[in-house]
Structure 1
Amino acid sequence: MSTGLAANAVAGLLALLLIVHLVIALVRPEKF
């Protein structure tokens, strides 16, 4: 695996986690 592909995979995973966190924050604001 090339380093560029690994970096893209990590960036995509972080972006996905951030989106999930924002959705949870919108649905359950009392937990934040």
Structure 2
Amino acid sequence: MRCAVSDSTIALIFAIGLGGYLIYTLIRPERF
């Protein structure tokens, strides 16, 4: 482990990406 900040940043980016994907699927369900 290099630094705890990098792990927190990766977790934050993953959470934002997952949340954005879920919101996108809710807004445009016609594509899925």
TM-score (norm 1): 0.78
| Count of matched residue positions in the alignment of Structure 1 and Structure 2 | 31
Greater than 2 Å deviation, 4+ residue runs: none
Aligned-residue Cα RMSD (Å) equals 1.3
Unaligned stretches of 5+ residues in structure 2: none
TM-score (norm 2): 0.78
